[in-house]
């Protein structure tokens, strides 16, 4: 069946300017890290992506290695672009990244010009695109000069393969250096993607200040701490959760009795606010004007809709903030 987007898709979403650029992003963006790969069900991820766009989510975030298997999330997204979204391309912000291991040998990861240019060429081919809107360096490379990595990002924009560039997982000091190099090259850094949530707050230790000073946007990933900041873990570790899977990013030993007690206390505040814990965790990030957008994942449509409902209440009283900080 031909997909026709909801004509009222822009009515409910809030859009925020990304740093000092001309680009606005939806307050909620959709990440395709999990649930959109070759092992996943086509009808399910198609429903998630079309529902997201129908609710004003214009930004879809990928990386070369998303899957599994690596590359398959981009291939699947490319299929949807061709079948459902070809006529909406100019309404979409599509991002990809390179930095983690993608293919064997010395040129298949990190931050050399060789790897970044080759990786983006592969990503464009998989997605059937002429360009991505944002291309990120996915993680700092301790062995490649920062000047080379930033020159590669600058080259990619000049080649017309990306409109904007960003950084991910850079600490405050290295982000500051990278942003200054990009400014000198004439390709300013648009955005930074840190891991940031109520339970992971290293970005507050200088990074957010750097981004504010330099006029760079911020889009946190893992805002729900791999599902910890949901009602899933209120009564321990469910059998079908990420923490129950040995190969996952959330390990069982991270879900301690102390963490569960914090989740319960935070959940109490969320319920008082008329929100789910997940909605409050997203709103807590979006209360900061330095945060442009929050990157959510979703394994099914109801999960996506639950996250979107956070936009109905983004303000916190001083008392609520004080109680939350005391718990954290």
C-alpha span between 21 and 25 (Å, rounded): 11
For domain 15-231+277-316, give the fold.
TIM Barrel (3.20.20)
Q: What tokens were used for 17?
A: 């300017």
Predicted confidence (pLDDT) per residue in 61-83, tens digit: 999 999 999 999 999 999 999 99
pLDDT for the residue 240? 61
In angstroms, what is the C-alpha Rg of the chain?
A: 19
pLDDT 10s digits, 243-294 = 555 556 665 667 788 988 999 999 999 999 999 999 999 999 999 999 999 9
List, for residues 45-55, the tens digit of each pLDDT value: 999 999 999 99
> In this predicted model, what pLDDT tens digit does every residue of 127-181 receive, in sequence order?
999 999 999 999 999 999 999 999 999 999 999 999 999 999 999 999 999 999 9
SS3 68: coil
Alpha-carbon gap, residue 173 to 296, rounded angstroms: 26
For the purposes of burial, counting CB atoms within 10 Å of the CB of 127, is it exposed (0-12), middle (13-18) or buried (19 or more)?
buried
Rounded percentage of the chain residues whose pLDDT exceeds 90:
90
How does DSSP assign 178-226, residue by residue?
A: HHHHHHHHT--EEEEE-B-BTTB-GGGTTHHHHHHHHT-EE--B-TTGG
What is the C-alpha to C-alpha distance for residues 223 and 193, in angstroms, rounded to an integer?
A: 11
Q: Are residues 30 and 221 in contact, defined by beta-carbon separation less than 8 angstroms?
A: no
CA angle 210, 22, 178 (to 5 degrees): 30
Q: How many Å apart are CA 263 and CA 249, to the nearest integer?
A: 19
Q: What are the φ and ψ backbone dihedral angles of 94, each rounded to 5 degrees?
A: -115, 125
């Amino acid at each position: 069946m031909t997909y026709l987007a909801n004509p009222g898709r822009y009515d409910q979403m809030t859009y925020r300017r990304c740093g000092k650029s001309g680009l606005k992003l939806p307050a909620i963006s959709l990440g395709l890290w999990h649930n959109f790969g070759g092992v996943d069900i086509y009808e399910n991820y198609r429903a998630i992506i079309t529902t997201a766009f129908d609710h004003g989510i214009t930004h879809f975030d990928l990386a070369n290695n998303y899957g599994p298997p690596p590359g398959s999330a981009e291939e699947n997204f490319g299929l949807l672009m061709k079948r459902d979204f070809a006529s909406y391309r100019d309404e979409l912000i599509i991002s990809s990244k390179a930095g983690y291991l993608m293919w064997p040998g010395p040129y298949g990861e990190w931050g050399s010009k060789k790897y970044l240019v080759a990786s983006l060429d592969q990503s464009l081919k998989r997605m059937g695109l002429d360009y991505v809107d944002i291309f990120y360096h996915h993680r700092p490379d301790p062995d490649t000069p920062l000047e080379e990595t930033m020159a590669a990002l600058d080259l990619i924009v000049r080649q017309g393969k990306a409109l904007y560039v960003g950084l991910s997982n850079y600490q405050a000091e290295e982000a500051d250096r990278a942003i200054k190099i990009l400014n000198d090259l004439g390709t300013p850094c648009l955005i930074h993607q840190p891991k940031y949530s109520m339970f992971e707050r290293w970005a507050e230790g200088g990074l957010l200040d750097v981004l504010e000073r330099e006029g760079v946007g911020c889009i946190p990933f893992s805002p729900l701490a791999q599902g910890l900041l949901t009602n899933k873990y209120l009564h321990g570790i469910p059998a079908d959760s990420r923490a129950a899977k040995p190969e996952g990013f959330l390990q069982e030993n991270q879900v301690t009795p102390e963490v569960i007690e914090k989740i319960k206390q935070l959940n109490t505040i969320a319920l008082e606010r008329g929100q789910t814990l997940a909605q409050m965790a997203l709103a807590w990030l979006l209360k900061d004007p330095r945060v442009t957008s929050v990157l959510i994942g979703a394994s099914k449509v109801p999960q996506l809709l639950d996250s979107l409902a956070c936009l109905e209440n983004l303000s916190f009283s001083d008392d609520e903030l004080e109680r939350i900080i005391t718990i954290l």
